[in-house]
């Protein structure tokens, strides 16, 4: 790749990072582009290009200052955290492992990342839910700090002996898919004795076959598309990212700007047409709104946390 193409690629990557809110990563890409531009003495429109990038960097710095000064998610009292766990744990009480996992995920959804990470790390000792706990640990890092923390955590697991090779390979593929969606490149070594899997074609299936193939473990859902039956978006499919997942329950953060969406999604509402997207499959099914909770503190104040349970059609 020649240097002009390298500059173009760096600027494109910087824009991707900026659009995803990855300020530090975008800043680094812009500085790299500046370095390459300065290395070319007779580059056409060199000054105007450098000035444009300088303005981009200034805008990033302003955004960073707003983030640094902006409200952070407060650490709630232990009593309040316990209340969150009790209110948003939906598993059968007989299944203590699933309940513990959902309780930790509930804490993460409401920004209580320190305790959520502590409890999720404790669940790694349980072989039955180790992979699900690990996935949600990575989601916590992606939501609370940066992709670098998630990648570093994976490398720590890779160098240890807690995970079975097949378990760690599942976690590796999961993190790789999240990073790719954000346009982030990272080297994630495969477990010893397991070569990195080739990318398989995305399959289309219905909810029944999807459930049959994942009787013990649900597919990882990265986003869903809901086709509304009524309201101002009737007949239209609106796509939402999945912020957390616990078994067949998906958690979405819906912006307060989408009032027309929120109004039609009361707890107990059955959504008959949902398209579920995972790294290996796309399937159509239905869902049930389990809860709709306004977020009252932190940077997401005013938004809503929506829990949807996957059900067959």
The tokens for 303 are 């938004």
Residue 88 pLDDT greater than 90, yes or no:
no
- pLDDT top residue among 76 and 151: 151
Comparing C-alpha atoms, which of 310, 307, 303 is closest to residue 291?
Answer: 307
pLDDT in tens, 209-241: 444 333 335 677 878 888 988 888 888 888 888
Domains of the chain: 3-69 (1.20.58), 78-181 (1.25.40), 203-311 (2.40.10.220)
pLDDT in tens, 9-48: 888 888 777 766 677 788 888 898 888 888 888 877 788 8
pLDDT the model gives residue 212: 35
pTM, rounded to two decimals: 0.53
């Amino acid at each position: 790749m020649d240097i002009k193409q390298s500059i173009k690629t760096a600027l494109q990557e910087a824009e991707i990072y900026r659009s995803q809110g990855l300020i530090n990563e975008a800043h680094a890409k812009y500085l790299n582009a500046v370095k390459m531009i300065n290395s070319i003495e007779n580059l056409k429109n060199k000054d105007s290009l450098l000035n444009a990038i300088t303005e981009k960097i200034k805008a990033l710095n302003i955004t960073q200052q707003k983030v640094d000064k902006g409200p952070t998610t407060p650490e709630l009292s232990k009593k309040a955290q316990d209340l969150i766990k009790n209110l948003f744990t939906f598993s059968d009480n007989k299944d203590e492992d699933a309940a513990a996992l959902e309780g930790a995920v509930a804490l993460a959804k409401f920004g209580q990342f320190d305790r959520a990470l502590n409890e999720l790390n404790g669940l790694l000792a349980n072989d039955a839910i180790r992979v699900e706990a690990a996935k949600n640990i990575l989601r916590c890092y992606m939501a609370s700090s940066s992709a670098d923390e998630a990648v570093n955590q994976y490398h720590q697991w890779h160098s240890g002996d807690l995970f079975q090779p097949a378990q760690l390979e599942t976690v590796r593929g999961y993190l790789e898919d999240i990073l790719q969606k954000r346009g982030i490149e990272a080297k994630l070594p495969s477990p010893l004795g397991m070569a990195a899997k080739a990318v398989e074609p995305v399959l289309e299936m219905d909810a029944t076959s999807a459930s049959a193939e994942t009787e013990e473990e649900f597919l990882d859902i990265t986003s869903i598309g809901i086709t509304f039956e009524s309201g101002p978006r009737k007949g239209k499919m609106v796509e939402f990212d999945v912020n957390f997942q616990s078994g067949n329950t998906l958690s979405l953060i819906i912006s307060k700007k989408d009032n027309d969406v929120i109004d039609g999604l009361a707890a107990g509402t059955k959504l008959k047409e949902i398209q579920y997207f995972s790294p290996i499959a796309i399937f159509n099914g239905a869902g049930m709104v389990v809860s709709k909770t306004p977020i009252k503190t932190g940077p997401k104040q005013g938004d809503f946390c929506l829990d949807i349970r996957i059900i067959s059609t």
